[in-house]
């Protein structure tokens, strides 16, 4: 039996792992949120690893993900996203645990017009992106047996995300203005969960940094349009530019990820975002 620790158990990705865990008979899951395991407390992490049966893999879903709040709450964002990752890695190396760490497309500045691969130079625009990049760097300095997965525009049936926000707003509003000049790829967290657990089941030897999102690319405006069309909701959508919708954090205008490496290395099938959106909406509706 392979023991898998999942931190940040109340988040979207962890909940999607819970949804499919019964399909993986050889994996035993231990779920923790910050109440059970604070990744910012090195002593607590050590005690937790010592108190449990050998932890073979740690999937770190714990993160400070409020992009705009991070601009004003830099210390907490850094503590969780950078130092938390460092402390987990420090304990993982002591217990020979493989760390699977979830990162973000926001490590890039969005100045390209073709998909970012894993060798591209990061240049984050926000505190959130910067702290996530520093977490990656800390892990790489400590561990050899790690998998960092950068993903983008995560959504699911769980938690707060763009899809659920659009559906909620449509109940009270007849018109919405949506940004049309930020382009990326929506990623269903359930698809990412399957990829991670399949990698663990196959006992990976190819460690390093990988990109994963669904296939295709789209703007937030066109994504919203697809959500409402698939849900058969009549609502007026107005495209607006990023410059006309001011936020605390600056976001990349283009953050499509190149999935060639993860596809070839682990021989995985990657669904198109349209296909995964339809499945998610059918579950939500």
| 78 is a catalytic site residue | no
User: What CA–CA distance (Å, rounded) separates 168 from 161?
Assistant: 11
CATH number at residue 200: 3.40.50.720
Q: Is residue 231 part of a domain?
A: no
pLDDT tens for 196-206 read: 999 999 877 89
Q: Indicate whether 81 belongs to any domain.
A: yes
Using one digit for the tens of pLDDT, what is the confidence trace for 231-259?
A: 999 999 999 999 999 899 999 999 999 99
Residues 6+ apart with CB under 8 A from 137: none
* Band of pLDDT at residue 104, cut at 50, 70 and 90: very high
Mean of per-residue pLDDT scores for the chain: 96
Tell whether the model's pLDDT for residue 227 goes beyond 80.
yes
User: Is 225 part of any domain?
Assistant: no
pLDDT above 70 covers a percentage of the chain that reads: 100
pLDDT exceeds cutoff 80 at 93: yes
Residue 116: which pLDDT band, with cuts at 50, 70 and 90? very high
Position 100 in a domain: yes
Whether 248 is covered by a domain: the verdict is no
Domain of 26 in residue numbering reads as 2-161+187-215+255-271
Residue 222 covered by a domain: no
| Assigned domain for 25 exists | yes
Catalytic residue among 116, 128, 155, 188: 128
Counted domains in the chain: 1
Residue 17 lies in a domain: yes
Residue 208's pLDDT is 96
148-162 pLDDT tens trace:
999 999 999 999 999
pTM attached to this predicted model: 0.95
């Amino acid at each position: 039996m392979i023991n898998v620790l999942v931190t940040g158990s109340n988040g979207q990705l962890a909940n999607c792992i819970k949804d499919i865990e019964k399909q993986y008979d050889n994996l035993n899951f231990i779920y923790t949120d910050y109440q059970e395991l604070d990744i910012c407390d090195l002593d607590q992490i050590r005690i937790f690893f010592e108190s449990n049966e050998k932890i073979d893999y740690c999937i770190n879903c714990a993160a400070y993900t409020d992009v705009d709040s991070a601009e004003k709450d830099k210390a907490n964002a850094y503590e969780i996203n950078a130092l938390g990752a460092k402390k987990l890695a420090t304990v993982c190396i002591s217990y020979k645990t493989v760390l699977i760490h979830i990162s973000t497309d926001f490590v890039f500045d969005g100045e390209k017009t073709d998909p970012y691969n894993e060798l591209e130079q990061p240049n984050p625009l926000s505190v959130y992106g910067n702290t996530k990049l520093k977490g990656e760097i800390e892990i790489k300095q400590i561990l050899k047996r790690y998998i960092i997965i950068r993903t983008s525009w995560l959504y699911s049936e769980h938690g707060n995300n763009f899809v659920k926000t659009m559906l909620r707003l449509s109940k009270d509003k007849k018109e919405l203005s949506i940004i049309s000049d930020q382009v990326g790829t929506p990623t269903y967290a359930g698809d990412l969960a399957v990829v991670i657990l399949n990698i663990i089941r196959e006992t990976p030897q190819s460690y390093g940094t990988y990109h994963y999102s669904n296939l295709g690319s789209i703007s937030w405006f066109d994504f919203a349009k697809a959500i409402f069309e698939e849900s058969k909701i009549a609502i007026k959508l107005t495209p607006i530019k990023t410059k006309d919708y001011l936020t605390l954090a600056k976001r990349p205008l283009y953050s499509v990820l190149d999935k060639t490496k993860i596809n070839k290395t682990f021989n995985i099938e990657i669904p198109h975002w349209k296909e995964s959106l339809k499945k998610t909406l059918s579950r939500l509706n």
